Chain A
Amino acid sequence: MLVTRPLHVFLRHPANLRSSLVWQCIRDYHSYEHEAPFPFAPTEDAILSAALSHVPTHGFSINALTQGARDAGYLDISTNLFPTGAFSIVRYHLVSQRLALAKHASSLQPQVDITANIATLALHRLHANKPIIHRWQEALALLSTARHLATSIRELALLSDELLFLAGSTTVTSSWYTNRAALAAVYASAELFMTQDTSKGFVETEEFLTRRLEEGEKVRGGLDMFGKWVGMQAGGLVDGLRSKGIWV
Chain B
Amino acid sequence: MSTATIPRIFTRLAHHLLKPGPPYRCLSCSRLLAQQEQIPKQDTPNSTTHFGFETVPSSSKQSRVANVFTSVASSYDTMNDLMSVGTHRLWKDYFVRSINPGIRNSGEEKGQGQGQGQTILDIAGGTGDIAFRMLEHCTAINNDHTSKIIVSDINPDMLAEGKRRARAGGYEQSGRLSWMEANAEDLSEVENNSIDLYTVAFGIRNFTHKDIALREAFRVLKPGGVFACLEFSKVNNRLFEAVYKRWSFGAIPLIGQLVAGDRESYQYLVESIERFPRQEEWKGMIEEAGFLVPGGEEGKGWDNLMGGIACVHKGMKPLR
Contact = CB atoms under 8 A, between A and B. Distances in A.
Contacts of A62: 100, 104
B205 interface: no
Interface stretch (A74-82, A128-136, A159-167, A212-220): A74-82
Interface stretch (B13-21, B109-117, B176-184, B250-258): B109-117
List 6 tightest A-B contacts by C-beta distance, closest first: A74-B224, A83-B296, A75-B224, A78-B224, A80-B226, A70-B111
A78 B294 contact: no
A76 B113 contact: yes
A151 interface: yes
Interface in A17-73: 41, 43, 58, 62-63, 66-67, 69-70, 73
A109 interface: no
A74 B144 CA distance: 18
B100 A78 contact: no
B6 interface: no
Contact of A77 (B109, B196, B295): B196
B248 interface: no
B85 interface: no
A74 B197 CA distance: 13
A78 B222 CA distance: 10
Interface in B106-154: 106, 109, 111-113, 118
Given A63-B106, A83-B314, A87-B297, 16 more contacts: A66-B106, A66-B111, A70-B113, A75-B112, A75-B196, A76-B104, A76-B196, A77-B100, A77-B101, A77-B197, A78-B224, A78-B225, A79-B100, A82-B294, A83-B296, A147-B297
A83 B226 contact: no
Contacts of B222: 75
B303 A83 contact: yes
A83 B292 contact: no
Given A43-B318, A63-B104, A81-B294, A76 B303 contact: no
Contacts of B113: 70, 75-76
A67 B114 CA distance: 12
B316 interface: yes
A242 interface: no
B118 A81 contact: no
Contacts of B103: 76
A160 to B, nearest CB: 20
A67 B109 contact: yes
Interface secondary structure of B, over-half rule: loop
Interface residues of A, number: 25
A168 B303 CA distance: 42
Contacts of B98: 80, 83
Interface residues of B, number: 31
11 contacts: A41-B292, A70-B111, A74-B224, A75-B118, A75-B222, A76-B103, A76-B104, A77-B225, A80-B98, A83-B314, A84-B296
A30 to B, nearest CB: 18
B29 interface: no
Interface string B291-318: 0101111000001000000000010101
Contacts of B224: 69, 73-75, 77-78
B142 to A, nearest CB: 8
Contact of B100 (A58, A80, A148, A151): A80
A74 B196 CA distance: 10
Nearest to B112: A70
